[in-house]
Structure 1
Amino acid sequence: MRMAGLSHITATATALLPCFYNGTILRRSSLRLRNGGSREPKLRLRCVSPSEFDFSPPPIDHDLLDTISVGGGIVSEDGVVESFDNDDEALDAFDNGVVVVDLSHFGRIRVSGDDRLHFLHNQTTANFECLNEGQGCDTVFVTPTARTIDIAHAWIMKNAIMLMVSPTTCQSIIEMLNKYIFFADKVEIKDITKQTCLFALAGPNCNQIMSKLNLGDLIGQPYGKHQHYTFDGMPITVGVGSLISDEGFTMLMSPAGAVSVWKTLLSEGAVPMGSEAWEKLRVLQGRPAPERELSKEFNVLEAGLWNSISLNKGCYKGQETIARLITYDGIKQRLCGLELSAQAEPGSTITFDGKKVGKLTSYTRGRNGSSHFGLGYIKKQAASVGTTITIREDISGIVAEVPYLSRQHPPTNPTS
């Protein structure tokens, strides 16, 4: 795919994100785009400092969605890229190639102010006070009784913390956080979802594309590590991890620069994936989602989100409940993957030996519609991999391991 109007990046960007860039690396390198052997103009990609940016919000338009629509994407009335009519191809590319997904409908929350680290440290499950600029983590928003609200992916920046949350929870999380800001707290919460675009790059060939784009210094870095660059004259932040997996990368940018980034990724071989295929992938990977696996019905330990929880950081919302559950072995059920014999409706009862042991929370068909898979909470006595369960009276299922949950590591020593 040819890209028109590309030019060398100047020292000063001209259309920009809100004030959350803070890179300090002074590295300059060039990027050559290739298309069918023809030579394209070169882009220059480099890390930047915030002093180079005009921090006024960029104009909001629909150039990216127009570009995606012209390219065959199906876009909903509320601006969600639903499908490219290639779900099976995209799922295969996740396993064997590379996919790019427009996640701009996900929420982006900017938390700024001198007390931001301490504030989020107290309001979520992760240990923010041990993190430094350029690092990141997953953290869970919970109720005072440790019931789950959402998983947020956080980037620690120089002047702010960026939170990426699910599409359905952004506004409620902002309202909840604002309620906990006291008079003396130096904290500001801002929704910048409409002022930014968000892409996920995932699959085993991600590193090849990253190297071609002069982003190879992020390859092999820890989950959540991120750096700031300019791309075709526009600011972009790239972080390790694709929200659904520790592998892959996440890209946050101005709407004005999104079209160039999208076209470049496609020209380098990334397969576009819509939100419908992303939802299939979410279930197959086992990542919990709000209104499904994350709700006031289930606590954070039942959801198995151990990598997002600090057990020794002191008092925070939900901490007392989490401590009691661990101390008294109070985790009675856990989230599991389920290989199913037929289509099943979320909310259906799961039974084992004729007794109710849980509930199905998500369902999807596999590739080509030839298989059925679900997620559900199951009591511990029936939650071992390989156990045969029943949904309703006529659908059989086998408890299966799922990648996202298998990467969660309960501590062998709760105080560590």
Structure 2
Amino acid sequence: MSQALQEMQCSAGATFDPAQVQVPASFGNDAAALQAARQGVALVDLSHWGLLKISDEDRLRFLHNQSTNDFQKLKPGQGCDTVFVTSTARTIDLVTAYVTKEAVLLLVSPNRRQQLLEWLDRYIFPMDRVELADISNDSAIFSLIGPESDTLLTKLGVQLPIGDVYASHQHLNLNDIEVRIARGSGFALPGYTLIVPASNAANLWQTLTTANATPMGDRVWQQLRIEQGRPLPDYELTEDYNPLEAGLWNTISFDKGCYIGQETIARLNTYKGVKQQLWGVRLPVSVEPGTVITVDGEKVGKLTSCTPTEQGYIGLAYIRTKAGGVGLQVQVGEIEGDVVDVPFLTHEYYGSQ
């Protein structure tokens, strides 16, 4: 994080978690920030996430062979979500890719940045024309979340729409600040992702907050991501689970050729072999992630995340497919809960991606 941006956030009331000194935990406005994400527009600093740059002539073919989605069909200005998996289709990270004329930018989870860089480097062979670069420290990443995001950008002179589909993006000038703006908030909520040089981060933050974007800290972002059902590495995305179990069907192309983990994913889809699925769980009290979930005394899953909401608590949990889905009553440790749907996840294949 740039010093100027951190000072600006501190002056706006930001407090920081000692374990994550570069991540604003709260701006002292958690209820207002949550309401803004649902009814107005909230602004989140995601600059602690990683940004990798993949360039040279073979970049699309290379990424096509390394992850679950179809890169060969993407043109500059387009993008997609994709999952990097092991050879046995266990998840490494859920990544958003933005294709430009010269490169592909990968927005990766903060605790997967180095691992993914090393993973990709391992699969570059001498004849491959691929260059990898970690540009995280040179960039700042903001997210606009909420139904008024379009109104705010229009007020700032941005011509909408940015593009026709999710992850469409444009590099443009906003109040003399060069910024790449992409459709998608990272949730099943309207919004945009903004990528800006770190040197201009404070100026862009001030521009957006002056235009009435409500700053949101990581505490509320984490609540939203659990309510929405976005899986996160070390919680829902681990080597214990594959992307189909994680509800990330819309990040997978079943029509493309071979890639790492493809055989396992294809077999699971063809033979309906998904043994567990990620769902939301409504709870009356907080329960520790990792708690075993049972039905009639039989273990059927495990809680992976939990957060307070205005209507009690909600968690994310892997539930054995044969046990059921939405409406299933479960025992989470000693606490009774109900399995619910969450908007970010899908649990079946809807056709060509």
With normalisation by structure 1, the TM-score equals 0.82
- CA offset at residue 132 of structure 1? 0.4
* CA deviation string 1:49-90 (max 9, x = no partner): xxxxxxxxxxx8411111111111113563112211222221
1:344 equivalenced with 2:282 (yes/no): no
Partner of 1:383: 324
* CA deviation string 1:224-243 (max 9, x = no partner): 11001123433210000012
1:327 equivalenced with 2:277 (yes/no): no
User: Is the radius of gyration larger for structure 1 or structure 2?
Assistant: 1
2:189 and 2:120 mapped to 1: Cα distance?
Answer: 27
1:92 and 1:262 mapped to 2: Cα distance?
Answer: 20
1:328 and 1:401 mapped to 2: Cα distance?
Answer: 24
8 Å contact 2:42–2:146 — kept in the other structure? yes
1:317 equivalenced with 2:260 (yes/no): yes
- CA offset at residue 385 of structure 1? 1.0
1:404 equivalenced with 2:344 (yes/no): yes
8 Å contact 1:240–1:250 — kept in the other structure? yes
Q: 1:119 to 1:212 in 2, by over 3 A?
A: same
Give the letter for the 1:403 counterpart: P
1:382 and 1:267 mapped to 2: Cα distance?
Answer: 50
Partner of 2:141: 198
Partner of 2:52: 109
Give the letter for the 2:322 counterpart: Q
For residues 176-195 of structure 1, what are the structure 2 equivalents within 5 Å? 176-195=119-138
The number of residues matched between the two structures is 351
Partner of 2:314: 373
For residues 357-368 of structure 1, what are the structure 2 equivalents within 5 Å? 357-367=300-310
1:158 and 1:400 mapped to 2: Cα distance?
Answer: 42
Give the letter for the 1:205 counterpart: E
2:164 and 2:214 mapped to 1: Cα distance?
Answer: 24
- CA offset at residue 306 of structure 1? 0.9
1:322 and 1:353 mapped to 2: Cα distance?
Answer: 31
1:182 and 1:277 mapped to 2: Cα distance?
Answer: 43
8 Å contact 2:244–2:347 — kept in the other structure? no
- CA offset at residue 266 of structure 1? 1.2
Counterpart of 2:165 (choices 212, 222, 231) is 222
8 Å contact 2:39–2:148 — kept in the other structure? yes
1:298 equivalenced with 2:236 (yes/no): no
Q: 1:104 to 1:218 in 2, by over 3 A?
A: same
Give the letter for the 2:63 counterpart: L
Q: 1:410 to 1:216 in 2, by over 3 A?
A: farther
* CA deviation string 1:362-402 (max 9, x = no partner): 011114xx51110000011333211110011x201101111
1:227 and 1:65 mapped to 2: Cα distance?
Answer: 26
8 Å contact 2:55–2:130 — kept in the other structure? yes
Q: 1:404 to 1:126 in 2, by over 3 A?
A: same
Give the letter for the 1:396 counterpart: E
8 Å contact 2:54–2:130 — kept in the other structure? yes
8 Å contact 2:163–2:169 — kept in the other structure? no
1:287 and 1:212 mapped to 2: Cα distance?
Answer: 30
8 Å contact 1:334–1:383 — kept in the other structure? no
Moved more, 85-94 or 286-295: 85-94
Identity of aligned residues (%): 45
Give the letter for the 1:372 counterpart: Y
Counterpart of 1:129 (choices 72, 79, 83) is 72
* CA deviation string 1:80-129 (max 9, x = no partner): 12211222221111111110000000000000111000000000001000
CA RMSD of aligned residues (A): 1.6
SS in 2 for 1:128: coil
8 Å contact 2:2–2:201 — kept in the other structure? no
1:396 and 1:216 mapped to 2: Cα distance?
Answer: 49
1:75 equivalenced with 2:16 (yes/no): yes
2:296 and 2:146 mapped to 1: Cα distance?
Answer: 39
